Amino acid sequence: MTVTDETDEALMARYGRGDVAAFELLYRRHEMRIWRYLERNVGNRATADELMQEVWFAVARDATRYEASARFTTWLFTIAHNRMIDSIRTGRRHTSLETLGYEAESVVAQLTADPGLGPLAAAVTRDQAGALLRAIETLPGEQRQAFLLQVEGDLSVEEIAAITDTSFETTKSRLRYARSKLRELLKDYV
Partner 1 sequence: MNEMPPSKDESEDVDDHYRRVSALDPSRPSEPVRRAVLEHAARLAEERTAANAPAKISSTRPARHRSWWRPAAFGTLAAAALAGVLIAPQFLTPRAPPKSASAPAQVSQPKAAASPEAPVEIKEQLSGSAAAERTPAPPEAQGNAAPASDSAAAKNAPTKAQSMAKVENTSKARSGAATSNDSETDARRTQTITSPASRMLAAPRAAAPVPQELAAELRRAAEIGDVPTLQSLLGRQPVIDARDESGRTALMLATLHGQAAAVDALLARGADPNAADARGMTPLQAAVAGNQPAIVAALQRAGAR
Q: Which residues bind partner 1 (CB under 8 A)?
A: 15-20, 23-24, 27, 31-32, 35-36, 39, 45, 48-49, 52-54, 56-57, 60-64, 82, 86, 89-92, 107, 110-111, 114, 125, 128-129, 132, 150-151, 173, 176-177, 179-180, 182-183, 186, 189-190
- How far is Cα 12 from Cα 25, in angstroms, rounded to an integer? 10
Query: Closest separation between CB of residue 20 and partner 1, Å?
Result: 5
- How far is Cα 102 from Cα 120, in angstroms, rounded to an integer? 24
- How far is Cα 107 from Cα 126, in angstroms, rounded to an integer? 9
The residue among 7 and 64 lying less far from partner 1, judged by its C-beta, is: 64
Please enumerate in sequence order all residues whose Cβ is within 8 A of that of 174, keeping only pairs 6 or more positions apart, or say none. Answer: 142, 143, 146, 147, 166
The residue among 27 and 71 lying less far from partner 1, judged by its C-beta, is: 27
Query: Closest separation between CB of residue 7 and partner 1, Å?
Result: 19
Query: Closest separation between CB of residue 63 and partner 1, Å?
Result: 8
Nearest to 102 by CA among 133, 65, 143: 133
The residue among 68 and 122 lying less far from partner 1, judged by its C-beta, is: 122
Query: Closest separation between CB of residue 110 and partner 1, Å?
Result: 5
Backbone torsion region of residue 156, taken as left when φ is above 0, otherwise alpha when ψ lies between -120 and 50, otherwise beta: beta
124 C-beta neighbours (distance < 10 Å), count:
13
